[in-house]
Amino acid sequence: MKLRFQKSFEKSYKKLLHSLKEKTRVAIKLFAKNPLNPKLKNHALGGKMKGKRAFSVTGNVRIVFQEFDDYTLVLMLKVGTHNQVYG
């Protein structure tokens, strides 16, 4: 799996508190090993975000991403609270 980070992800990541940055790094490592790990709650999105997916970092923090070719390439789009990434 190749992970790519869009500028929108990098920008939203920089705004996170230090403790959330560490949790985000841990979640991304877990995702890279197994994107379908049940702890991540990886799920498809609908509506205006149809075609994208998200997984959980914490109870309220999500990473929105797009996967290609059965997780051969993953483009990380945004990280933040539920309202920040879906609003």
pLDDT at 35: 97
The range of the structural domain enclosing residue 16 comes to 2-86
CATH code for position 54: 3.30.2310.20
pLDDT tens, per residue, the chain with 87 residues: 999 999 999 999 999 999 999 999 999 999 999 999 999 999 999 999 999 999 999 999 999 999 999 999 999 999 999 999 987
pTM of the model as a whole: 0.94
SS3 annotation, 17-67:
CHHHHHHHHHHHHHHHHCCCCHHHCCEECCHHHCCCEEEECCCCEEEEEEE
**In total, how many domains does the chain have?**
1
